[in-house]
Structure 1
Amino acid sequence: MASFFQRLFGSSSTSATPESALAELEVDMHSHLLPGLDDGAETLEQSIELLKAMRTLGYRKLIMTPHIMGDFYKNTPAGVRAALARLQEAATAAGITDVELECAAEYYLDEWFQQKLDSGEPLLSFGGDKKYVLFETSYINEPFNFEETVFNLKSAGYQPVLAHPERYTYFYGRFPALEKVRENGVLLQVNLNSLAGYYSAGAKRVAEKLIDAGMVDMLGTDAHNLKHTDTLLQKVVPTPYLKKVLTQPLLNNSL
């Protein structure tokens, strides 16, 4: 196994082990490690195990993004920050002091999200003054108010970031539509596990096409559990498209 990774990454590199293959990204900006908020980690113990796995992969900063979705995941900025404080305390107690922990959110584009924008309620963003806001949509149906929401986000001073565009089936066979989304000022964040076909063959194809076109702005793990981090280590690291995308001007290490 070791010789395989030496051939893949080059035997002269001291940091290019499979365990640290994502170290050059430095920052993950999409995960569900905060405990008890959504379909990710349920307990602090699970959060710590995931945190250890992310550290092994080479990450030194995690911007964790729990779902905020209408009546389903009714998380609030105060609740998310409280969960972050609990995890920070638990990480320190566990001796994990070399990974910086921050929070934002993954907003679902629904009527409640539009109400937040209309009310002027501050959104959980990341990237400091850049005010990146991660958002997702239905996987099947294209939102009728997609462009309006993007306009409203930008008008409110936020930079919209579309989570895992490769997973939205309404874009399949419509790559020019994705090009238009990015031309209209939306940054695109691809899930690393898509490179291994974890979600679907279609998502893998679109992710590869986005990389070929140089349209990936950020990479995220979207880690919910140890199966996700195991897939990153065992199946994503060996893919040629990981090596290709890591040569592109990604924003992760600037966050």
Structure 2
Amino acid sequence: MKVLVVDDEKDITALVAYHLEREGFHVLQAHDGLQALELIKRERPSLLVLDLMLPHLSGLDLCRRLRKEPDTARLPILMLTAKAEEADKVLGLELGGDDYLTKPFGPRELVARVKALIRRSEEPTGEEIMKTGGLEIDLGRYTVAVRKQVVELTPKEFDLLKALVLAKGRVLTRDYLLDRVWGYERASEIESRTVDVHVRRLREKLGSEAKRIVTVKSVGYRFDQDA
């Protein structure tokens, strides 16, 4: 299992690599955005640990590029950065990050989040195809179509939609979604905001079918098959 760690501070990449390699991961390292882009194309890692403040090509710009390409649109991305303001986190998530961890970080937490992202992205789903209204979800191929037009979702957006659909109308709390989709047992206010950001992005991509994702005030979300 390949993980690419991108940070211009070599001591940070070495620290992350050390702890991930102890868990059996094969770790690649890059120290600027352009180098990372080349490694991603050549090595096709299973996950990206990405600093936002990089030379030549910023982490945000790299993330934006990856999400536009079919081959990397679903690459799990853990953003690792010293920028701890809520606005920075929300921006990172809106541009396609699947998770966000600020420096200084605990190595055990970083490893746990990497494992959670990979577990969610590789979770077996079977071959079931679900259809409701103009929405078609192929759980085996991880594809979504709205009125026969394919919609590109990130792994977290797909897992979020899948969790809501499989709940069959039941209301899912933000804490439940953070545990089910992101693998967090306890949620901070920022992490709860992560769910809202992903729901907003998912609604934008679903277009006319976005009405099926219903907000339940102060609780969470549910999927309405009859909307």
Instruction: Tell me the TM-score normalized by structure 1.
Output: 0.27
Instruction: Using CA pairs under 8 Å that are at least 6 residues apart, name the structure with larger relative contact order, 1 or 2.
Output: 1
Instruction: Tell me the TM-score normalized by structure 2.
Output: 0.30
Structure showing the higher strand proportion among its residues = 2
